[in-house]
Structure 1
Amino acid sequence: MIKDFKKIIYIASIIFCGSLFLYNCESDADNLGEQLFAGEGSNANVELFDVIAYNIDNNDSIRSDASQLGFAQIGAFAEGVFGTQKAAYTTQLRMQEYSPTFGTNAIVDSVVLDFQMPIGLYASDSLTTTTTSITYPGAIAATKVVNSYPLYKYGKTKLGSDKTLFNINVHEVSDFLKSSTDEYYSDENIATSTLLGTKLFDGTVKSTKITNNTGSSDIFNVDPSIRIPLNAAYFQSKIIDKAGSLDLKDAYNFIRYFKGVKVSVVENDGYLFAINPASANIIIYYQNDLVSGTVTTRVPQTFNLTMGTSLSSHVGQFSYNRTGTIVADALATINTNTGDKKLYPQGMGGPSVGFRIPPATIALLKNKVQNEKIGIISAKVRIYTDNSVWNNNYTKPSNFVFLKNGATSFLTEVSSLNAAPGFSLVKAYDTDKNPAYYDFTITTTLKEIVEKELANEDFIVHMGSFLVDSVGSLVRYSSTSRAFTPNRLVLVGTDATNPQRIQLHITYGSK
């Protein structure tokens, strides 16, 4: 996934703004079925049928290796329905060049882990600017301008009356990480050792520009990023002083010598936020001697350890504490036969939702098609958000991964009707209100079940979205944002007493 980052550049917009198939809009008639049922002079009828919906326990584990991570999540978030979730990111490193020479008397000044943040992960239209006069090394009079932008967050920007702060830690990894093509799951334990650095993080990303007051030329310029200071003495001995050693000779030796780093937070509550592994580096700032005749000058230099390369192993690590929560009780009492009253989809390895059209409903529709000569114009499964348990201001998703359970391809709707005017596989309504609701389109699939004896298989709904490439085309059915989507939601399931229960809405024509 990371190696395909340029192809899926719209992931940020998928997370925050919706995807190819998902829109916030006013209720409107689905005109898809009109192309499937040429019924001039027909009468449209709408019927509602109950649906069997149930929770799916994913054991709080999801594949979260390099093939799955377009972005990675960091942070912690605790609430009473789903419990506590913590997210960390672990990665190998690659050197900008192997068998490096750092020059004479090379001494490290400072080291930072630099996460460059693309637009879409922070509010670029909301900034605070600070301007100060400084003396830059070399006795240069300069002006420093820092722009701060708030990150997009999922969770609590305040704890009580105080702004949420995180202590972000960077640890050295002590377990050898496998290749970028090997599988890792989010609940795997990867051991760490030395604490390399820490930063008190205020939830903003910063761009920095330092300009020479004489001539107004830029001395230093960093785009919006999160920069975490690391231990300079450690990298002096670990990297600079090892010049000429076998440990730095090639990638094979290096990833066994310096196995990687883990980025995590200390706290157990706050929010989750996304980073872009594809543009992350550890930057070593050092100086060496430049000798010219009898004059020795100290020259500033940089050396990068790249985190985002496609050759490296990358792992999203998520841990959960659901003790005493509503979700823990729900997952302990899943009923796939008659359904669950409430549904609890959650990204990053949390629960998913399954549903099926009851066989009796299929039999009834077959009878209508065969004997009453109806034609199905539209079929949608409508699911409402729950008000009794999940009545809050946390962002409601507009995106879902919607497939047949056990699928090896997209739903038929995607391939056959994607270009149809007004088509949406899923439509989201009133996501700024309580309740919101979602329509899942199954027109073609239901017609195939009813009219062509296709097997009546269960559907599955995951939190997240299908990924699209830079021209808006789907990547593949298995390319989704499930492994880095922080959203969670409570939906109304199969509950005969609730007028907002999950139901199949069928529009059909009859002559």
Structure 2
Amino acid sequence: MYNNSFAKRTLLFFISIFFLYSCDKEYNSIGADLLGQNNFDFLQYTSDVVAYNQKVGPVDAINLPVNSLGIATNSSFGKTISHFATQVNLSTVSPSIGANAVIDSVYLSVPYFSTLKTTNADGSKTYELDSIYGGQAPIKLSVFESGFFMRDLDPSTNFQTSQPFFTDQNNTFDNAKIGSRLNNSSDASQNDAFVFSPKEIVQKSIASTGNVVLNRSVPAMRLRLNSNFFTSKILNAPAGKLAANDVFKEYFRGLYFKVETVPGSTGSLAMMNFKAGRITINYTEDLVTNGVTTRVSKSLDLNLTGNSVNLFEDTNTVASYLNTVNNPNTTEGDDNLYIKGGQGSMAVINLFNSAAELNRIRTSGWLINEANLIFHIDANKMNGSDEPNRLYLYDLTHNIPIADFNLDPTSSPNPKNSKFIFGGLLTKQEGANGRGLSYKVRVTNQIRNLIKHSDSTNVKLGLVVTENIAEPTFSKLRSANAFTSKFPKAAVMNPLGTVLYGTSSRVPADKRLKLQIYYTKPN
């Protein structure tokens, strides 16, 4: 099934490339037929841009498709700690739990994003993890029972809209946690020195023949949880508490994942799909058959579904970053653009800051072949910190994608890499560990529309980090800023940041952000 799906996506990719090539070829051929081989000049024009910073602040992080967990440290931003809270659902309501039920083990498992690299002769597999930052640097991870009830509907709107939960509410969840941590194993890799390991999960079981069977699964966050807690909470639950998930979610309000720094470690961070996670309770109970009692093994699953929220704690924040994003130069633009996800910061971009320039281009008769914005990374300020793999440019005035995003049909087996003609992907130096150089975003159709239609609004553009280019929807800000009350949801997911060169006169000319236009002008 995977290979068939992959083949379809690959075919779509080549069809898309052929389509775009054919359209471009047809456009140029028609132009040649109409005007002759030598009646066009192919030229490049560079337009000044004004770009400046904007602080984002707390944002609604309810039910994100992907969540971060761990610690991200950046020399230009500071430290971001990502906590997480989620409701829990019964996979089967009203489970039948027999007499004298005794738990053998309880495991929490959340798979990582990973790629299979090799399979050895003995069946063991080697994987490479995706979206893990900071490598094997340990963090302290504690999982608690949550005492905070996450409503579906917002009481402040008379229960007419969904309840928002914001990225700055970690203290609320931390103060509401109940009891001791549930991942209380004596093995420090389960809690006090947790790492995101790429090792496959291997479980042993005994077949009916008495042989040992190895069950293998993809790398995952796999934590052994306190059996006594789940005996009391689940196996010995009061009557009716397991009858329906609405009742169950009020009774067992979920889990709170708290992250702390390990002394001497910079920490690491993973992007994870917690909705794919589950808690498996393995237990034995009495089975009476014809008056004979035997012990049988059973299991019960709890799914990590229901409402969830990512909670960010920003510490050791760099003063120069705060000063820049809180005091932008909206006239000339800033020296540097600080682009940080989560509850961080973004860039506001003004194209054609001069109305006279735009009017001159509109009356020139230019045919726009291509237009790009190229953002150069300030490597000195990044200083080896983890870099986001992609940036997203959108219409900030209306909080919608720009035309080039909507008109790009290209896809990829990894949806994060789709719409690659639109761009925003990180360009790196050559070599396995090459550092990032730049990001390029195509704005051809945005410029064509602006030039072709004199009544088109020259909207402000927003530039943010993105975790998934296929997620163009928006989340609500706790407090609206000067430009918007919303923030791209995919930018909330990814708390990483990058520092780009801006547009002020102090920026070296070869690094300064500019709009590059390639056009054809009839003679």
TM-score (norm: length of structure 2): 0.76
Partner secondary structure for residue 490 of structure 1: strand
Partner secondary structure for residue 109 of structure 2: strand
> Taking structure 1 as reference, are residues 480 and 435 closer, same or farther at Cα in structure 2, changes over 3 Å only?
same
2-structure distance, mates of 1:427, 1:377: 19
Shift of 1:219: 4.8
8 Å Cα contact 1:290-1:299 kept in structure 2: yes
1:413 is matched with which residue? 404
Shift of 1:54: 0.8
Determine if the alignment matches structure 1 residue 49 to structure 2 residue 30. Answer: no
Shift of 1:373: 3.1
Q: Which of the numbers 197, 205, 208 marks the counterpart of 2:183? A: 197
1:306 alignment partner AA: N
2:416 is matched with which residue? none
2:480 is matched with which residue? none
2:144 is matched with which residue? 171
Partner secondary structure for residue 341 of structure 2: coil
8 Å Cα contact 1:53-1:353 kept in structure 2: yes
Which structure shows the higher helix fraction? 2
- Larger mean CA deviation between 297-306 and 387-396 belongs to 387-396
2:146 alignment partner AA: V
8 Å Cα contact 2:44-2:517 kept in structure 1: yes
Note the aligned Cα RMSD (angstroms): 3.4
1-structure distance, mates of 2:25, 2:346: 27
Matches within 5 A, 1:404-483: 404-416=395-407, 418=409, 424-426=421-423, 428=425, 430-432=427-429, 433=434, 436-453=437-454, 454-464=456-466, 467-468=469-470, 477-478=473-474, 481-483=490-492
Shift of 1:203: 2.3
Q: Which of the numbers 483, 495, 508 marks the counterpart of 2:519? A: 508
2:87 is matched with which residue? 92
8 Å Cα contact 1:287-1:301 kept in structure 2: yes
Percentage of matched positions with identical amino acids = 20
Matches within 5 A, 1:238-249: 238-242=233-237, 245-249=239-243
Shift of 1:313: 0.5
> Taking structure 1 as reference, are residues 429 and 275 closer, same or farther at Cα in structure 2, changes over 3 Å only?
closer
Shift of 1:85: 0.5
2:322 is matched with which residue? 328
Partner secondary structure for residue 376 of structure 1: strand
1-structure distance, mates of 2:30, 2:268: 48
> Taking structure 1 as reference, are residues 507 and 324 closer, same or farther at Cα in structure 2, changes over 3 Å only?
closer
Matches within 5 A, 1:23-422: 38=31, 40=35, 41-59=39-57, 61-66=58-63, 69-117=64-112, 121-125=113-117, 149=127, 151-152=129-130, 154-157=132-135, 164-179=137-152, 181-188=162-169, 189-190=172-173, 191-194=176-179, 195-198=181-184, 199-200=190-191, 201-204=194-197, 205-210=199-204, 212=206, 219=213, 221-224=215-218, 225-242=220-237, 245-267=239-261, 269-293=266-290, 295-308=292-305, 312-360=306-354, 362-370=355-363, 372-392=364-384, 394-397=386-389, 399-416=390-407, 418=409
1-structure distance, mates of 2:80, 2:392: 21
8 Å Cα contact 1:463-1:485 kept in structure 2: yes
TM-score (norm: length of structure 1): 0.78
Shift of 1:355: 0.6
2-structure distance, mates of 1:212, 1:232: 22
* 1:420-440 Cα deviation digits (max 9, x unpaired): 9x9711254632355612222
1-structure distance, mates of 2:385, 2:446: 35
2-structure distance, mates of 1:319, 1:334: 24
Q: Which has the higher contact order (CA 8 A, sep 6+)?
A: 1
Shift of 1:84: 0.8
> Taking structure 1 as reference, are residues 323 and 477 closer, same or farther at Cα in structure 2, changes over 3 Å only?
closer
1:156 alignment partner AA: G
2-structure distance, mates of 1:324, 1:413: 35
Shift of 1:388: 2.6
Structure 2 gaps of 5+ residues are 7-12, 14-20, 154-161, 185-189, 412-418, 475-487
- Larger mean CA deviation between 330-339 and 36-45 belongs to 36-45
- Larger mean CA deviation between 262-271 and 215-224 belongs to 215-224
